[in-house]
Amino acid sequence: MGVGGCLVLPWRCLVVLCLRLLFLVPAGVPVRSGDATFPKAMDNVTVRQGESAILRCLVDNRVTRVAWLNRSSILFAGNDKWCLDPRVELVTNTQTQYVIQIKDVDVYDEGPYTCSVQTDNHPKTLRVHLIVQVPPKIVEISSDISINEGGNISLTCIATGRPDPMITWRHISPKAVGFLSEDEYLEITGITREQSGAYECSASNDVSPPVVRRVNVTVNYAPYISGAKSTGVPVGQKGILQCDASAVPSAKFQWYKDDKRLSEGQKGLKVENKAFFSRLTFFNVSEQDYGNYTCVAYNQLGNTNASIILYEISEPTSSTLFQGPGAVHDGNSDGSRTVASVWLLSVLLFHLLPKF
């Protein structure tokens, strides 16, 4: 393929023959560049996909005929367009340069282009290579995955582009350092819960900013109780027992006392279950509420439990409360007057003693 729509029909041989006749090139005689200081063409032309390519050929007043060709297809000969592709346009045809433009360049336009001139019955050519760069595009990537802790995973990221893009994988995590892989594939064996989260595939080839896609990896594991603290509460007060657990999927909770399961409907008791904790609330603690409680956390991967004690403590009295600055004291007024009298007497003695 070349520039689309050009005269590359089954009668290609006829086109080549027409070209030879146009420039009076004897059959079998090779046409070479470098025989003179012209035509002069630019270096290889590199453009991005979708942009316009300018093909420039420098000539002088000795040139009688000039043309641009794509492989064996004539694009322009002088001012005449031989190409049916509307993207190809003649930009300049003067005694010093012959320039065409190809708009909206695509990968099939890549390849050699030839500037051919005729002067003093001596045809000469110069070839320029059009290079089309294509931004990276991720065309295939693994779906989000859920796996049990200890399993193995393989993530795939396939990208296209020109030049071939470089692919890297990294774990989006505060503890992650550097790239996990500089390849299309990322293999993780014996995965742990700390390795769950988002994994980012980046494809880059310096043609445009890197293209980034993410795969979410969920690592399932059995519950682990991280917090279960015994609590002391006076009789008649509100008491709370809490059990914290981490698990994927989230743990479900059950409470027991002396092998008897507790439920939300029991009088004076509230059971509150959330994704990561369960709370047992006693609104008015009685003597019968004290004792050992068991919190059970479970999911389809396993279960665990912890023992929590609700124990009795004495209700604090006013004499045991901390009194900070500015606290009001309820004391004997006579005692206050006695303290004041002693203070006044000490002040009086302090002033009288120097006189003696």
pLDDT tens-place string over residues 28-41: 223 333 344 555 55
pTM beyond 0.85: the answer is: no
Characterize 307-329 residue by residue with b for buried, 16 or more Cβ atoms within 10 angstroms of its Cβ, and e for exposed. Answer: ebebeeeeeeeeeeeeeeeeeee
Q: Which residue has the higher pLDDT, 316 or 103?
A: 103
The residue type of 207 is V
Tokens 């043609």 sit on residue: 207
What does each C-alpha distance from 322 to 59, 316, 319, 326, 328 come to in angstroms? 101, 11, 8, 12, 12
Instruction: Tell me the pairing of strands 252-257 and 277-282.
Output: unpaired
Q: Which residues are bridge partners to 189 per DSSP?
A: none
* Number of other residues whose CB lies within 10 A of the CB of residue 215: 19
Return d(Cα 209, Cα 102) in angstroms, integer. Answer: 25
The residue type of 44 is N
> Helix, strand or coil for residue 268?
coil
Return d(Cα 203, Cα 159) in angstroms, integer. Answer: 7
Q: List the one residue out of 309, 301, 335, 171 whose CA is nearest residue 243.
A: 309
Tokens 């002033």 sit on residue: 351
Q: Give the pLDDT confidence score for residue 316 in this predicted structure.
A: 66
Q: Give the pLDDT confidence score for residue 119 in this predicted structure.
A: 82
The rounded percent of the chain whose pLDDT value lies above 70 is 76
User: Tokens for 100?
Assistant: 């065409």
Q: Are 181 and 166 in contact (CB under 8 A)?
A: no
Tell me the per-residue pLDDT of 109-165, one tens digit each, with 9 for 90 and over: 999 999 999 887 788 888 999 999 999 999 999 999 999 999 999 999 999 999 999
Q: Give the pLDDT confidence score for residue 140 in this predicted structure.
A: 97
